[in-house]
Structure formats: C-alpha cells, structure tokens
Structure 1
Amino acid sequence: MKYAKISAFSAICAGLMAGAGAVSAQNLTLSTGLGQPHMWVAHHMEPFAEAMESKTNGEVTFTKYYGGELSAVGRELDSLNSGVIDVAAPLLAPYHEGRFPLSDITQLPTYGTTSPMVTRAFQGLLDSDVEIAPGKTFYSYEIGDKGIHVWAIGATAPYSISTTSKVLKEPADFTGTLLRAGSALHTIVLGNLGATPVTLPGPQAYEALSRKTIDGIIIAISDWPSYSIQELLRHSIVDVSIGHWESYLAISDAAWGNLSPEHQKQFDETAREVALTNAEKWESNLVEVRQKSEAEDGGSFVSVKDLSPEMQAHMDKAARQSWIDWIEKTEAAGHPAKATAKLYAQLIMAEGGALPDGVGDYLGLN
C-alpha cells in the first residue's frame, strides 16, 4: 500500500513536470519572404535559429519557411498579427507602405559608413530613451502599437550606384539615365542627382538589366550575387553611401508572451549578437564580390573622391538635399522626421560616419 502511494505520488510529479516542460517548450513559425541564398537568410535567419535552439537546449525550436511560402515581402506585419507566422526574419519595413514612416532613415546618404556602424546606430535608435515626439521614443512611435517586438538585423553594406555600360563621370551624365530604385527614399536621391528612377524589387533587377530596360541600379555590391547581377554590372561609384538598407527581426507580441523570461532574455541577446555577425558578413562579402568582379568580369570601382570636383559637388548637393526632402515630406505627413534624423545623425557620427555638407547645420547639430 505504501509503495502504491509512493508510485501514485511519483506519477503525479512526473505529470506536473511534463506539463511544465510542455508550457516552456516552444516551436515558433519562422518565415522569410526572401530566398535561401540571400544574405539576410543564409547569414542571419539561419544562424539566429541555430543559436537560439542551442542556447535553449532545444526548448525553443523553429519551423522555417522560405521565399514567401507563408508570408510574402511586405505582408510580414499582417502575418504576424494574424498568427500565420510567429517570427519574421526579416520584416522588410520599407515595403509596408505608410506603416513604418521613419524606418527607412538608414537609407539617407552618408560618407564613410559600414554595415556594423549602421547596425549599431539603428539598434541604438531603437534602444534610445530620447523623445522624438511628446511622450514617444523612436521605438514607441514606430513599433509600439503594432503588436510586435523588433530588433535591428545586419544593415546592408553601403548602397552604390552601378551601371552596365554607361559611365557616370560628370553631372550631365545622370540626365536620362534609368536607374533602379528600391525604395521611396532612393527615388528622392536619384531625382536630386538628375537620373530617372525606376522602382523595382530586387528579384526583378536581373531581367531589367539584361534586357537593358534600365541602365543601372542602386544596391549594395555585396548583394549582387543574391540577384545574379554580378556579371551584368561594370561601373560603380563607391565611397559614398546611398544609404544602407535596414530592417527588423520581428516576433509577434503573442509569441513573445508565450516565451519564458529566460527565453525572452536569450532571444534578445541572440538577436543583438547575430545582427552584428551578419553585418560583418555584409562587409566581407563586399570585398569578395568586388575583387571577383575586377578579376573576372572587368568591373570598375571608382571612388567619389577621384571624380571631378564638379561631380563631387553635384553628388554632395544631391545627398544633402535628399535629407532635407525626406524630412520635409515626412514631417508634412505628420511624423517627427527631423527629430528622428537628428538623433540618427548623432548616432552615425558617434560611430565615425560623416554627413553630407550642410546636413549638420540643417539639423542644428553645429
């Protein structure tokens, strides 16, 4: 009888322990709208999932979906809020028209910036307690009411202007040149340069370039292999960043609330760590792609510093005006763009990056 009581008690304890394990263990649906070779998939999404599964000893696992199988680019927020997915890697904010009005700020032109610098600055923007509007930080204004938790992913390497055959040497060379823009902010920059922007998502770039329906593209050189365009592009202007593309690793509030406090801490730590290793990969890949282009495809990479004084002045003026145009357009739509730009500019300068001439004065930083 005593043995029976002990056995029954042991069975109850085992059942409670099993129940506790079931509550703490989580399998999360992890989705990307991008293909598996993309830098944000192969070198961010995959390492993040592996690191989380390892850190949690398999208590947090992921079921992965690629290439828009569950949620296409630009649909990530709706999919997170509806419960179709638990984690978006990445949530591409610039493709959610009007829903993340300040998140494309990293696409503003800068000088001397790298992927790690911009990644740290953008995460700093998310972490900042500086108010950009009454009672609102950047995070609370941009993310707070959207039902998600987010972190910066590794920013792309600097966006450069690259063409297939046309060489851009002087300001007049931009006139009539059809260049792919990947975002609304890119169209502002290209317009100020005097080029004709053609808005296209990255996967359509190969066909447009190969058919010569566009003359070139604004994109990170390290991203050329993601779209198989490295053999098409011959001439690039470097050492001036047409911004960096940033986006978010995002988890729904519902999925976040189901994680234990320990797993939430591990998720936060892992997101920050992997973003920076991803950023380093963007930079190393930039060197590799450039070297291969020069050696095998006749690629030419000309520093903006080696262009004529007229061309340098033209590009700097366009960069400065693009900050002003984006700020004034976004402010007119009712969003605190100037306060956000001022904070971001301070973070970029603290990282060692530089602003186009006149931007600091416009923002009241000098």
Structure 2
Amino acid sequence: MTKASSARRADRHKSQGRPPVLRRLLSGALLAAAAATPALAQDKIELKVAHLFSNELYLWAEGGKKMVDAVEKATDGQVSFTVYPSGQLGKDTLAALQSGLADIAIVIPAYNAQKLPLSSVAELPGLYADSCEASASMSAIAAPDGVLGQAEYDPQGVRLLFANVQPGYNLFMGKTDPQNLEAIKGKKIRAVGNSGVRTISALGAVPVQITVSEVYDSLSRGTIDGALYNYIGLPDYDLPDLLKYSVQGPRFGGTAIIYAMRNETWNKLPPEVQQHFTEAAAKARENLCTWQQENTLSIREDIVAGKGHTVVTLSPEENARWEAPFPGVIDAWLGDMSSAGKDGQAILDAYRGKAAE
C-alpha cells in the first residue's frame, strides 16, 4: 500500500470517527451558511407576494404592482413574482411574511394593532391634509433606519419598502346636513380604530365600529346616520347612493398601508437588486398617492354632479371648533402607548417633523 493511499484511508477513518452529534452539527452549520448566502447576481430569484385585495383594486394596481413590474423590468426578468391576492396565503399578511409563506406583503397595521401599535400614528386627527405628504413622512420614519422602523418593523423581522397613507377621512352623513357641529350631536357615526372612536365621541356623536362592507346596510336600516370614510372608496360600496353630505375641512386622520419584505429575503438579494427595489418602491409610492389625490377630486366631482351630493365647506371659525378636540385624542393615544411601554412621543415627533419638511 502506498503512502498516499494510507493517508486517504486515515483521513476517511478520522472523518468517520467523529461523534454523530458533531457530524450533524457540522452539517447543519454548512446548510445554515448556504441559506444565509446572498444570491449571485445572475441567479434567478422568485418571490411570493401576498395581499388581501383583488388585483384590480388601486392599492395593488397603482402601488404594489407598479413596484414589482418595475423590478422585473429593471432586472431583465432575473427577479420574478408570484402574486397571491384576496388573502390566499391567509388573512394575516404580517404572519405570512414572518413564517416565510410570503416574501413581500401588503400589511395593514390597523389589522395588526397588537404587533404594530405605534403605526397607528397615521390614524391620529389633525396631523395632515395631503396624503402624499403623509405617505412620504410615514415611509421615512418606518424605513429600516427610521425611528418607527427600528422600534416596530425590524423586531417583527420585516423591512418597509414603502408606506401609503390613505386620503384623509371625511365625515359623511346620510340625511343630516352637517352645517355646524351641533348638527351631528348624538348622531350614530361609523368609526374605525381607537382614534376614530375617540374623535367621533369628542365631537358629541356616537361612534359605531363596523366594517366598510356593513355601512350600506346599516345606513339603509337607520342603525347609523353617517360614517368616517374617504371619497375614493365610496363607489366600490355604492355609498354615494346613501351618503348625501360630506364635511370639507377637518383633518380626521386616515390609515396606513405598509408594503414590506421579509428581512431574511432582503438579506439574500444581491446589492444591485436591492437598489432596484429601493428605486421602484419610491416611484410606486409617489404614483399611488398621486393617483389617490387625483381620483379623490374626480370622484367628489362625479357624485356632486351625478348623485346630488352636497359638500359642506366649513368656515375657518367653524372648522376650528371641529378640530378643537383633536389634541385631546392625540394625548389619549400617547397615554395608550406609554401604558404599553412604547415611546409614542418619539414617533409622533418624527412623523410631524417629516411631514413638515
């Protein structure tokens, strides 16, 4: 037997002589290292996208789809996407991200209030009137290096791609002309979230928490008199037929929509693909909020002309009366965050500061 063959036999015996536990640990370490290795620039990358909407709804068609189409084009098809709409991967899209069922998802913080309480800053009244301004602010503070991103999203294992803040709510009424604050006293009004409920209560009305799909029947039966909602969503639920008045002026707040990626997925992407995502997300955010603003105006004009809708524009003095309770709603939210051990003041200051820039 040659010295070389003897050496090979010795090495083989040495390897086989390792304890089974050690061999399994080494094998597991190699697999983990392979899983954590970023994809090579030329590798095909297939990503799964989850959301709760139809693929025709503007939140996907004018937002998420614009982003993924741009990335696919910029990478010449290296990155491809399989989209699962209408809750096909589960109604909890944040959980789908965290479990690895999805790589990208549209997350609605209001539906994940226990995990994302600080994101409800976007629901507070009196903070913004322009949804593009609010979307840019929310995107900045919820980014990986932003105060909200570090406090809330990174601990959940997800990374913001971009945020959308919906056009601010208006107060819509069925039969009551809301010319002044006294007109809505005691009226039953649909509200969403803690801040919406507090806002309606502070105005002297009675908040009723129901989904938007229940608003039409509730108005028809007279179990509610009005609703906090926005113009852009009215036609989808035939609400212009029943909501004959709206109040223009008070900043009732809105809600945030988060377009996010799993951290583990992001870390595996080549740097150039990460850059394509960053650029596509910024353009998609701007496209979506611009589309929302333009269509808010066109829908309002259409229902005024075609449905006999009346827009009540408050005087500056009357508008100030409506907004007078809003600071108290914000203080209550800060109290909620403090009780939960969250630094709501830091998030509020950042959101306000970015919105003012």
TM-score, structure 2 normalization: 0.83
What's 2:350 paired with?
A: 343
Q: Give 1 or 2 for the bigger CA radius of gyration.
A: 2
Shift of 1:209: 2.8
- CA contact 2:188–2:225 (8 Å) conserved in 1: yes
How far does the alpha carbon of each residue in 1:264-322 deviate from its partner, in whole angstroms, 9 at most, with x for none?
1111211111011100001001111001011000111112326xx4x434312122211
- Structure 1 CA distance for aligned equivalents of residues 302 and 315 of structure 2: 23
State the SS of the aligned residue for 1:276: helix
Matched AA of 2:126: T
Distance 1:68 1:101, change over 3 A: same
Correspondence for 2:48 among 29, 32, 35: 29
Change (3 A) 1:312 1:239: closer
**% identical equivalent positions:** 23
- Between 1:214-223 and 1:285-294, the stretch displaced more is 214-223
Look up the match of 1:44: 63
Aligned-partner Cα distance in 2 for 1:142–1:191: 29
Paired position in structure 2 for 1:14: none
Are the equivalent residues in 2 in contact too, given 1:159–1:241 (CA < 8 A)? yes
With 200-209 and 267-276 compared, the bigger mean Cα shift is at 200-209
Question: In structure 2, how many angstroms separate the alpha carbons of the residues matched to 1:123 and 1:179?
Answer: 30
Tell me how far apart the structure 1 counterparts of residues 76 and 219 of structure 2 sit (CA, whole Å). 47
In structure 2, which of residues 82, 99, 106 is the aligned counterpart of residue 82 of structure 1? 99
Partner of 1:315: 322
Q: 1:114 to 1:68 in 2, by over 3 A?
A: same
Q: Number of aligned pairs?
A: 319
Q: CA deviation at 1:21?
A: 7.6
Give, as a single letter, the amino acid of the residue that structure 1 aligns with 2:88. Answer: E
- 1:329 shift after superposition: 2.1
Matched letter for residue 348 of structure 2: A
AA at the equivalent of 1:278:
L
The one of 63, 70, 84 aligned to 2:89:
70
The match for 1:122 is 138
Within a 5 Å distance, the mapping from 1:60-209 to structure 2 comes to 60-72=79-91, 75-88=92-105, 90-110=106-126, 113-127=129-143, 137-209=147-219
Q: Deviations over 1:114-158 (max 9, x none)?
A: 11111111122234967xxxxxx3211111111111133332112
Aligned partner letter, 2:274? Q
CA contact 1:35–1:67 (8 Å) conserved in 2? yes
* Letter of the structure 1 residue corresponding to residue 93 of structure 2: E
Q: Does structure 2 retain, via aligned residues, the 8 Å contact 1:111–1:240? A: no
Alignment of structure 1 residues 261-276 onto 2, 5 Å? 261-276=271-286
Matched letter for residue 172 of structure 1? E
Cα pair 1:208 1:214 within 8 Å, conserved = yes
**Alignment pair present for 1:326 and 2:333:** yes
Q: Deviation of residue 113 (structure 1)?
A: 2.1
Q: How far 1:43 moved relative to its partner?
A: 1.2
SS of residue in 2 equivalent to 1:24: coil
Contact 1:111/1:239 (<8 A) preserved: no
Q: Is residue 169–residue 228 contact of structure 2 (8 Å, CA) maintained in 1?
A: yes
Task: Please identify runs of 4+ aligned residues in structure 1 that moved more than 4 A.
Answer: 20-23, 127-130
The one-letter code sitting in structure 2 at the alignment partner of 1:87 is I
- Match of 1:206, SS state, is helix
Segments of structure 2 that go 5 or more residues without pairing to the other structure are 1-38
Unaligned runs of 5+ in 1: 1-19, 131-136, 351-366
Given that 1:37 and 1:226 are in contact with CA atoms closer than 8 Å, whether structure 2 keeps it comes out as no
CA distance in structure 1 between the partners assigned to 2:221 and 2:60 by the alignment: 28
AA at the equivalent of 1:79: A
Give the C-alpha shift of residue 252 in structure 1: 1.2
Q: Deviations for 1:88-135, whole angstroms, at most 9, x for unmatched residues?
A: 1x20011112111110112222366211111111122234967xxxxx
Give me the TM-score of the superposition, normalised by structure 1.
0.81
Change (3 A) 1:52 1:225: farther
Instruction: Tell whether the 8 Å contact from 2:127 to 2:352 is kept in structure 1 after alignment.
Output: no
- 2:312 matched to which residue of 1? 302
- C-alpha displacement of 1:345: 1.6
